[in-house]
């Protein structure tokens, strides 16, 4: 035996030898190698014809005999050297080409070539036969319609092409060459089929995962479908592949074979999560083979909700941001550092539960009773632990303003002190106003030396500088008490009428009693009418002669009076029968009284006018006497007579005229005398 082949052919050659020895001892029925007879499979295919069977049997016997003779005569067996690739890879549906190379000194005519495959049960099934005379594709095999064989023995290279490769084609294909001179040789190639799987999908666990779970919890599921061969799934956490660790990380893959024969793989990741896993990104990677390479695809990243208990809480007033005042809407908020599946925040005030709907609690229209410590509690059902925190809320308040004074009534000339303030939790400021005008700042209002003008309504406004919108106010009515003050001055007036109405008005509190007294003995007491400024009293005097009327106003603080002197004037020349309405017309305006000073001026003017008239008359009398010539016609002793006569005239005149004229003449006469001298 010549055993001098490469490792691939070595075993084949040995087995061939073994089979040959078996066939020689007529126990070939047990052999695992198909019969060298080229028509042996044909027998199975064409069992219906007896003739063919006979021919086949005859041929087999002949070939067996020939082979036996060949072995016996040569003494040494020379195998055909067949070279084939270990494996050929092809995508599902593509074509696969299996090349068979052999070396032989024989021409093609002296060779028999067969293609076979090894069935899953280990049997060999021929699919192609070729010799010098024929090329036969075996009928009834899965390859009957899908194979073609190219090339001839002349080149020493034959290619079996399998089209539309199926998953079942993943078999070992045998190229068997028999040369009459060089003997027999075979090569084997395994066909590998590949299918690219679908894009993998990942499904994250939607519910939160508690860190306090005892066993690894499901994190996600990764699935890849329709791959061949089976793809692998690897889980990643933050770009680091996860490895199984008992009790910590657990990845369970399950493979299903689809009806198509393709594999689908589902992998479930279970792990014990920690708080840090809340920020981790998970994904899975699928590796799969393709002809000549290993490829991989990644799923999208996903994160998980990790539930971990609160270790600390915080409670605070979310709004208002500044100081709280009564009437405000106060929003309390509570938050913890944990992320439990079911954190139930409970708000308590004065040890009493007030709410637990959410982590927000709102107090509407707060009052000072809402002040105090507010506590937020959270209970973690996983750990059965309770965490709490508190905050103090203070509601500021400002009560109604209160004005305090010793007495609302103040005596004229004295001092009034009033204080105004409101009870408040904060510092207050007071501002005083009178008739809308600011008059003073500070809680205490001091009014010195009060007058009747001081009386009126005062308003104090109490504010809280720290909270602008807090304000309250109150009113203070001030009455000034004191003796009456009459506005009118003492007056002298004339009246041409029979009656005069007099007015007397002034201020004084309480309202004074008014007593009108006249010089003719009348006394009238009345209560005055109150006016805006104070009081007023009217009085009608009947003027028959000069009369004096006194208005005396008095109250408990004192009295004031005013005197009206009325001079009665009776006019005969101009008797004006005027009637004055007592109620409506005031005496002063209705009958303008003539002042006494004015009257004396008029008398002087009248006297001067009368004097001038008298002088004019005297002048004209003297002129008349001169013209008659009784005195002026004589010469010599003219001056003496003239003097005497003039003296006589004066005497006469004095006797005849009234006293006023006499005075005037007297004056005149003296002048005349001096001028003469």
Ligand X SMILES: *[C@@H]1O[C@H](CO)[C@@H](O)[C@H](O)[C@H]1NC(C)=O
Which residues of the shown chain bind ligand X in the complex (CB under 6 A)? 97, 150, 159, 161, 231-232, 279, 287-289, 294, 303, 327, 365, 367, 373, 375, 390, 515, 545-546, 552, 554, 559, 561, 567
Mapped onto helix, strand or coil, the DSSP state of residue 358 is coil
Select 196 or 515, whichever has its Cβ closest to ligand X. Answer: 515
Q: How far is CA 599 from CA 500, 605, 609, in A?
A: 20, 10, 16
- Closest contact distance (angstroms) between CB of 77 and ligand X is 32
- Closest contact distance (angstroms) between CB of 559 and ligand X is 4
Listed residue (470, 489, 641) closest to 561, CA to CA:
489
- Closest contact distance (angstroms) between CB of 591 and ligand X is 17
DSSP readout, 478-536? EEEEEEEEE-PPPEEEEESSSEEEEEEEEEEESPPEEEEEETTS-EEEEPPEE-SSSEE
HSE-CB at 536 with a 13 A cutoff on CA atoms is 11
**Torsion of Cα atoms, 328 then 329 then 331 then 332, to 10°:** 60
Q: How does 158-175 read in b/e, with b if 16+ C-beta sit within 10 Å? A: bebebeebebebbbebbb
Do residues 492 and 562 make contact, with C-beta atoms less than 8 angstroms apart? no
Select 418 or 550, whichever has its Cβ closest to ligand X. Answer: 550
β partners of residue 634: none
Do residues 115 and 149 make contact, with C-beta atoms less than 8 angstroms apart? yes
- Closest contact distance (angstroms) between CB of 567 and ligand X is 5
Residues in the chain: 677
- Closest contact distance (angstroms) between CB of 676 and ligand X is 42
- Closest contact distance (angstroms) between CB of 589 and ligand X is 23
How far is the C-alpha of 329 from the C-alpha of 308, rounded, in Å? 33
Select 301 or 642, whichever has its Cβ closest to ligand X. Answer: 301
Select 97 or 586, whichever has its Cβ closest to ligand X. Answer: 97
Q: How would you classify the pairing of strands 183-194 and 87-91?
A: parallel
Select 458 or 535, whichever has its Cβ closest to ligand X. Answer: 535
How far is the C-alpha of 223 from the C-alpha of 281, rounded, in Å? 18
Select 286 or 445, whichever has its Cβ closest to ligand X. Answer: 286
How far is the C-alpha of 624 from the C-alpha of 19, rounded, in Å? 214
Select 162 or 480, whichever has its Cβ closest to ligand X. Answer: 162
The encoded tokens of residue 389 equal 């925190």
How far is the C-alpha of 411 from the C-alpha of 483, rounded, in Å? 9
Q: How would you classify the pairing of strands 558-568 and 491-495?
A: parallel
- Closest contact distance (angstroms) between CB of 632 and ligand X is 49
Select 77 or 561, whichever has its Cβ closest to ligand X. Answer: 561
Which residue has 């004066």 as its token pair? 650
- Closest contact distance (angstroms) between CB of 337 and ligand X is 15
The rounded Cα 321 to chain-centroid distance in angstroms is: 14
Select 32 or 369, whichever has its Cβ closest to ligand X. Answer: 369
- Closest contact distance (angstroms) between CB of 260 and ligand X is 19
- Closest contact distance (angstroms) between CB of 409 and ligand X is 21
Select 98 or 462, whichever has its Cβ closest to ligand X. Answer: 98
- Closest contact distance (angstroms) between CB of 369 and ligand X is 8
Select 313 or 445, whichever has its Cβ closest to ligand X. Answer: 313
How does DSSP classify residue 216?
P
Select 314 or 414, whichever has its Cβ closest to ligand X. Answer: 314
- Closest contact distance (angstroms) between CB of 373 and ligand X is 4
DSSP readout, 145-212? TTEEEE--TTTTEEEEEE-S--GGG-SEEEEEEEETTTEEEEEEEEEEEEBPPPPPEEEE--S-EETT
Select 53 or 567, whichever has its Cβ closest to ligand X. Answer: 567
How far is the C-alpha of 163 from the C-alpha of 94, rounded, in Å? 6
- Closest contact distance (angstroms) between CB of 566 and ligand X is 10
**Phi-psi group of 88: left, alpha or beta (phi > 0 → left; psi -120 to 50 → alpha; rest → beta):** beta
């Amino acid at each position: 035996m010549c055993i001098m082949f490469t490792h691939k052919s070595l075993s084949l050659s040995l087995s061939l030898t073994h089979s040959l020895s078996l066939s020689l001892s007529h126990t070939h029925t047990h052999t695992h190698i198909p019969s060298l007879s080229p028509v042996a499979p044909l027998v199975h295919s064409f069992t219906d014809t007896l003739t063919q069977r006979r021919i086949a049997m005859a041929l087999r016997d002949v070939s067996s005999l020939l082979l036996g003779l060949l072995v016996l005569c040569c003494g040494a067996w020379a195998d055909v050297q067949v070279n084939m690739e270990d494996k050929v890879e092809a995508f599902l549906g593509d074509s696969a080409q299996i090349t068979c190379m052999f070396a032989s000194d024989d021409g093609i005519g002296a060779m028999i070539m067969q293609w076979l495959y090894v069935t899953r049960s280990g049997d060999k099934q021929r699919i192609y036969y070729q010799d010098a005379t024929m090329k036969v594709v075996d009928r009834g095999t899965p390859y009957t319609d899908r194979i073609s064989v190219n090339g001839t023995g002349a080149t020493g290279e034959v290619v079996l092409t399998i089209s539309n490769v199926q998953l079942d084609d993943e078999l070992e294909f045998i190229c068997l060459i028999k040369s009459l001179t060089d003997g027999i040789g075979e090569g084997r190639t395994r066909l590998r089929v590949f299918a690219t799987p679908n894009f993998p999908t990942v499904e994250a666990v939607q519910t939160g995962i508690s860190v306090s779970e005892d066993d690894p919890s499901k994190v996600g599921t990764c699935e890849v479908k329709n791959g061949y061969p089976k793809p692998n799934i690897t889980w990643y956490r933050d770009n680091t592949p996860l490895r199984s660790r008992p009790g910590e990380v657990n990845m369970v893959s399950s493979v299903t074979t689809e009806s198509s024969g393709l594999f689908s793989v589902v992998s479930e990741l279970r792990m014990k999560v920690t708080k840090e896993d809340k920020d981790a990104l998970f994904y899975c990677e699928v590796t799969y083979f393709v002809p000549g390479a290993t490829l991989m695809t990644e799923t999208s990243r996903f994160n998980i909700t990790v539930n971990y208990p609160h270790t600390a809480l915080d409670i605070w007033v979310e709004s208002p941001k500044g100081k709280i005042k009564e009437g405000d809407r106060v929003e309390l908020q509570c938050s913890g550092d944990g992320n439990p599946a079911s954190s139930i925040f409970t708000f308590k005030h004065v040890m009493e539960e007030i709410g637990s709907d959410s982590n927000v609690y709102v107090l509407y229209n707060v009052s000072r009773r809402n002040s105090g410590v507010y506590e937020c509690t959270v209970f973690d059902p996983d750990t059965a632990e309770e965490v709490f925190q508190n905050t103090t809320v203070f509601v500021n308040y400002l009560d109604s303003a209160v004005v305090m004074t010793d007495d609302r009534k103040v005596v004229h000339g004295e001092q009034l002190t009033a204080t105004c303030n409101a009870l408040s939790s904060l510092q207050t400021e007071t501002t005083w106003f009178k008739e809308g005008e600011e008059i003073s700042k500070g809680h205490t209002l001091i009014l010195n030396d009060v007058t009747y003008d001081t009386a009126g309504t005062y308003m104090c406004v109490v504010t809280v500088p720290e909270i602008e919108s807090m304000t309250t106010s109150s009113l203070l009515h001030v009455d000034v008490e004191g003796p009456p003050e009459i506005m009118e001055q003492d007056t002298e007036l004339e009246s041409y009428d029979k009656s005069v109405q007099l007015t007397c008005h002034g201020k004084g509190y309480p309202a004074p009693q008014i007593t009108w007294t006249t010089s003719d003995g009348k006394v009238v007491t009345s209560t005055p009418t109150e006016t805006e400024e104070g009081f007023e009293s009217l009085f009608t005097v009947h003027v028959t002669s000069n009369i004096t009327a006194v208005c005396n106003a008095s109250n408990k603080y004192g009295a004031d009076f005013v005197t009206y002197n009325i001079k009665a004037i009776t006019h005969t020349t101009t008797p004006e029968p005027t009637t004055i309405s007592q109620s409506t017309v005031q005496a002063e305006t209705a009958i303008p009284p003539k002042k006494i000073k004015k009257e004396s001026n008029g008398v002087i003017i009248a006297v001067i006018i009368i004097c001038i008239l008298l002088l004019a008359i005297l002048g004209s009398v003297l002129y008349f006497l001169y013209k008659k010539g009784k005195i002026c016609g004589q010469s010599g002793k003219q001056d003496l007579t003239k003097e005497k006569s003039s003296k006589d005239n004066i005497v006469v005149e004095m006797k005849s005229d009234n006293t006023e004229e006499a005075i005037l003449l007297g004056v005149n006469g003296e002048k005349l005398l001096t001028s003469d001298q």
